[in-house]
């Protein structure tokens, strides 16, 4: 079985940490792993990045920081990631990890011109996702959880867009056949996304958004865990069972 490492680049809300754990806990749970025995590297706190030969898969967590702040730890990780991609080590970047991966490979990140995107939203899969190992064979749209203010404004040159939502044109992308970024949080559940909406209620109201409506539309979904377990299967070379397509694909 391959060794998957979690590159921790931030923590969730303190109110959630005390009740439910942190980003890495939810990711590992979604992948079907116990935290004990798994390798979590806290990049934000200056931990040394591993040798590429030591790892078989990489997941980059979310963060409350912004890629455009160009923190030293973030720039260091951005300089390390292309080496993993060149070696075809499977990579999954989540939210901040998605944006950092795009930036590291030549894309552009900035404030989302459509405004903040919070809640449970429809991510529409593109035709490029049809045969994709991570997102292929899923119905479209898929229900996903989002809490982000910045976005990938321009994908890396060799990236293929896999998904988009009403407020974000680049919800998911792939480079090659084993490097993915997803703007959404496959590790979240409805309780997590509702807590984020509550915590940021005043800022969402200033943007003209309806926090109560966002909370009402926040629901649990199985897609996140399916995607995380598919990533594990990719690392281990064991394909997941097929999931029937029930809706048409978009261009």
Written as six digits, the tokens of 227 are 């995607």
Per residue in 220-240, pLDDT (tens digit) is: 999 999 999 999 999 998 654
58 phi and psi angles, rounded to 5 deg: -135, 130
| Residue of 24, 95, 124, 195 marked active site | 95
Of 90-94, 148-152, 204-208, 244-248, the one with minimum mean pLDDT is 244-248
What domains can be seen in the chain, in order of their start residue?
4-236 (3.40.50.880)
The verdict on whether 178 is a catalytic residue reads no
- Over residues 55-84, the mean pLDDT reads 98
- Grade residue 202 by pLDDT with cuts at 50, 70 and 90: very high
Task: List CB contacts of 86: < 8 A, sequence separation 6 or more.
Answer: none
Q: What is the pLDDT of residue 239?
A: 57
pLDDT at 93 over 50: yes
- CA-to-CA distance for 205 and 215, rounded, in angstroms? 13
- Over residues 29-58, the mean pLDDT reads 92
- Over residues 46-68, the mean pLDDT reads 96
Q: 106: helix, coil or strand? A: coil
The verdict on whether 71 is a catalytic residue reads no
Q: What is the pLDDT of residue 245?
A: 42
pLDDT at 244 over 60: no
| Residue of 24, 145, 148, 187 marked active site | 187
Continuous H helices in the chain: 14-20, 23-31, 72-86, 96-104, 190-199, 201-206, 211-216, 223-236
- Over residues 203-210, the mean pLDDT reads 96
Q: What is the pLDDT of residue 2?
A: 55
Written as six digits, the tokens of 68 are 């455009």
Q: What is the pLDDT of residue 40?
A: 95
- Percent share of the chain, pLDDT over 90: 90
The verdict on whether 185 is a catalytic residue reads yes
- CA-to-CA distance for 200 and 219, rounded, in angstroms? 18
The closest of 150, 170, 151 to 159, measured between CA atoms, is 170
| Residue of 98, 124, 148, 185 marked active site | 185
pLDDT at 3 over 90: no
pLDDT at 85 over 70: yes
């Amino acid at each position: 079985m391959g060794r998957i490492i979690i590159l921790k680049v931030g923590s969730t809300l303190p109110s959630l940490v005390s009740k439910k754990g942190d980003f890495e806990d939810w990711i590992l749970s979604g992948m079907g792993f116990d935290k004990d025995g798994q390798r979590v590297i806290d990049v934000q706190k200056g931990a040394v990045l591993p040798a590429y030969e030591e790892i078989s898969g990489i997941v980059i967590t979310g963060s409350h920081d912004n890629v455009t702040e160009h923190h030293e730890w973030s720039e260091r990780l951005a300089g390390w990631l292309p080496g993993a991609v060149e070696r075809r080590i499977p990579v999954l970047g989540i939210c901040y990890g998605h944006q950092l991966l795009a930036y590291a490979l030549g894309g552009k990140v900035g404030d989302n011109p459509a405004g903040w995107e919070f809640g449970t939203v429809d991510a529409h899969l593109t035709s490029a996702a049809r045969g994709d190992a991570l997102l292929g064979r899923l119905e479209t749209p898929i229900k996903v959880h989002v809490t982000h203010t910045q976005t990938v404004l321009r994908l890396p040159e060799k990236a293929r867009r896999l998904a988009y939502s009403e407020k974000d044109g680049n919800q998911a992308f792939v480079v090659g056949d084993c490097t993915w970024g997803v703007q959404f949080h496959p590790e979240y559940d409805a309780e997590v996304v509702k807590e984020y909406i509550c915590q940021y209620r005043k800022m969402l109201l200033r943007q003209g958004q309806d926090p109560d409506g966002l909370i009402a539309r926040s629901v649990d979904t199985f897609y996140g865990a399916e995607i995380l377990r598919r990533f594990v299967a990719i690392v281990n070379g064991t394909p997941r069972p097929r999931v029937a397509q029930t809706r048409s694909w978009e261009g």
